[in-house]
Structure 1
Amino acid sequence: MNLVKVESEKKRMIALGFEGSANKIGVGVVTLDGTILSNPRHTYITPPGQGFLPRETAQHHLHHVLPLVRSTLETANVTPDDIDCICYTKGPGMGAPLQVSAVVVRVLSQLWKKPIVAVNHCVAHIEMGRVVTGAVDPVVLYVSGGNTQVIAFSEGRYRIFGETIDIAVGNCLDRFARVLTLSNDPSPGYNIEQLAKKGEKFIDIPYVVKGMDVSFSGILSYIETTAVEKLKNNECTPADLCYSLQETLFAMLVEITERAMAHCDSKDVLIVGGVGYNERLQEMMRTMCSERGGRLFATDDRYCIDNGAMIAYTGLLEFAYGASTPLEDSTSPSGSEQMK
């Protein structure tokens, strides 16, 4: 009976989470059983053809973070007294934007007398995907603007079985969107996806898989130069290039994911990260999983794309098992970290 009572008390635990590793600032409130009480975010959108720089992104986050805190508490119908811990993304990510969340969390922790939990951004994506989809022990494809990794849980840790050896798949898509001066609203990758649906002609693009790893920088260089020349000569359309790039990049990702599945003797795949919202990637991965007698687990843009709830939930899991971060260690890196 006491064990039931303890479990019941754990499920009532509530965390406030901050995510600000890239161009999105998000604040979420989550309970230990995975119930998302609120999860607002705001995206820094730059003009077409431009990326987002650390300093300007951090200024955006500073402007929006406190209104988001007020909004998420009101929506969740909770007060600071109801919160058990405050969680934030420690890394990996862009240094300046990450520091905004770190500073806010340190201040709120002292004002509200609440413990802090530092969270790994990559693990948070996976844990959010698992709780939302119900995936038990899948091979994880983590694809975003800053990360591309095939991950599986083994011997008590998330372990990387394959990854990009240079730039991330999302970065490759974003940078090509700049070449075509596509809008960054809501995201360059989304606009590439919509344009790719109109593509009719497949343009041969380098296909670079090296064992369990992939490489995208050479592909980007090729499509920025040689392929664009075809565009100037009216040999193809922008839609054809977007279609060809997507098909090539996603086929590479499906290949290394399938190889990891064979290695881990797993039939299920979970896609997380911003690029995981791409319907064509999901379709290709679902076909592969079906052929192996498995299932694909994926989420919509509320949870695939960076958000505060994923940080709150992962941090709360850690906190429930006794983990917390001392105030003096609640910092963020000056640059990117790699998932260990």
Structure 2
Amino acid sequence: MIAIGLEGSANKLGVGIISHPSPGKPAQILSNLRHTFNAPPGEGFLPKDTAKHHRSWVVQLVKQAMAEAKVTIKDVDCICYTKGPGMGAPLQSVAVAARMLALLWEKELVGVNHCVGHIEMGREITGADNPVVLYVSGGNTQVIAYAEQRYRIFGEALDIAVGNCLDRFARTLEISNDPAPGYNIEQLAKKGKVLLDLPYAVKGMDCSFAGILSSIDVLAAELKANPETKDPITGEIITTADLCFTLQETVYAMLVEITERAMAHVGSSQVLIVGGVGCNERLQEMMGLMTAGRGGSVFATDERFCIDNGIMIAHAGLRAYETGFRTPLEESTCTQRFRTDEMFIKWRD
């Protein structure tokens, strides 16, 4: 079976085509294209501008994906699209495009939970068996484990997502959004040496990042007013790189802590990191140190599959389609709030 997947829950428009051969064999990725809308430095991407970008590029990406995959319309079994969660206007643009293709090609629709798409793609690529999942992106922060055909949420962000925290601090610093604000913070953090004092907000299995963002913004304002600001403990002059280093070390330590707590709770020795923030090498390193101490292992993918993409929607959608799931045309809506644990995972035991 072959599916085409459309992803557009945020500023990245993705189109992917995947083939599921006979049971027991790995999926075949036929094409995986993506185009990103980048706002100017110091600004975030607005829903209306992002939706316009998606509408402008979706037809071209679908044509390119079909050509790259060397498939025709008759080869495609279903059209999969991101139903949510995400930003309203971009989600609507992709849903309309999916309905257009379904009507034009006379194919069935499959609405996919964006978070489940990340998890299923991560499991497929890494071969992780039954891991605790750390899902970290611009809009979501969740610690998840599978049980009884649901992905159960053990802990999550109580306010803003960790990726949103990083993105908004990039705006404070007015650094480029290309290729991604979080990536640019990561590169600056590699040059940082001074670890400053920030709030550490772990509350049971949950995290809070808004107060941390407010605190690091205050430090950034002080540094901007006085570039010779020194660390009160070491006496070293504080740099922008130190602020990025401090922010990363603090928020990632929080994520490692709640992930380890979930591992202990469910008795798992594996951690799978998914979502755009999952590309961060420092997060992967810290998680690897924690899992090694427990005799376990950490699994992660590169930017092709960590960052929002169409292939993950095609893969999860085709899994659901193979078990008989369909999204009727009159129900092919989208929603900004679509919990990970709302989706029934019929294809897993």
TM-score tier, shorter chain, comes to over 0.9
State how far apart, in whole Å, the 1-side matches of 2:303 and 2:220 are.
31
State how far apart, in whole Å, the 1-side matches of 2:104 and 2:191 are.
53
1:7-22 matches, within 5 Å, as 13-22=1-10
1:95, 1:336 within 8 Å by CA — same for their partners in 2? no
Is 1:161 the counterpart of 2:154? The answer is: yes
Q: CA deviation at 1:227?
A: 4.9
- Over aligned residue pairs, what C-alpha RMSD do you find? 0.9
Q: What CA deviation, in whole Å up to 9, does each residue of 1:59-103 have, x standing for no partner? A: 000111000000000000001100000000000000100011111
* Paired position in structure 2 for 1:216: 209
Q: What CA deviation, in whole Å up to 9, does each residue of 1:130-189 have, x standing for no partner? A: 000000100000000000000000122100000000000000000000010010000000
* Paired position in structure 2 for 1:23: 11
* Paired position in structure 1 for 2:253: 251
* Paired position in structure 1 for 2:132: 139
State how far apart, in whole Å, the 2-side matches of 1:90 and 1:34 are.
22
* Paired position in structure 1 for 2:267: 265
Among the aligned pairs, what percent are the same residue? 65
* Paired position in structure 1 for 2:145: 152
Is 1:102 the counterpart of 2:95? The answer is: yes
* Paired position in structure 2 for 1:125: 118
1:287-306 matches, within 5 Å, as 287-306=289-308
Q: Secondary structure at the match of 2:9?
A: coil
- Partner letter of residue 310 of structure 2? G
- Partner letter of residue 190 of structure 1? Y
1:229 corresponds, among 208, 216, 222, to 222
2:220, 2:240 within 8 Å by CA — same for their partners in 1? no
Q: Which deviates further from its counterpart, 221-230 or 208-217?
A: 221-230
Q: CA deviation at 1:190?
A: 0.1
- Partner letter of residue 298 of structure 2? L
State how far apart, in whole Å, the 2-side matches of 1:336 and 1:325 are.
18
* Paired position in structure 2 for 1:5: none
* Paired position in structure 2 for 1:319: 321
Q: Secondary structure at the match of 1:140?
A: strand
1:45-194 matches, within 5 Å, as 45-194=38-187
State how far apart, in whole Å, the 2-side matches of 1:49 and 1:336 are.
27
1:118, 1:330 within 8 Å by CA — same for their partners in 2? yes
Q: CA deviation at 1:338?
A: 3.5
* Paired position in structure 2 for 1:338: 339
* Paired position in structure 2 for 1:282: 284
2:173, 2:220 within 8 Å by CA — same for their partners in 1? no
* Paired position in structure 1 for 2:195: 202
Q: CA deviation at 1:201?
A: 0.8
State how far apart, in whole Å, the 2-side matches of 1:72 and 1:208 are.
43
TM-score normalised to structure 1 length:
0.95
* Paired position in structure 2 for 1:9: none
Q: CA deviation at 1:336?
A: 3.8
TM-score normalised to structure 2 length:
0.92
* Paired position in structure 2 for 1:44: 37
State how far apart, in whole Å, the 1-side matches of 2:290 and 2:184 are.
25
* Paired position in structure 2 for 1:10: none
Q: Which deviates further from its counterpart, 248-257 or 104-113?
A: 104-113
Q: Secondary structure at the match of 2:164?
A: helix
Q: CA deviation at 1:231?
A: 5.0
Which runs of at least 4 in structure 1 moved beyond 6 Å after TM superposition?
none
State how far apart, in whole Å, the 2-side matches of 1:337 and 1:252 are.
25
Q: CA deviation at 1:34?
A: 1.8
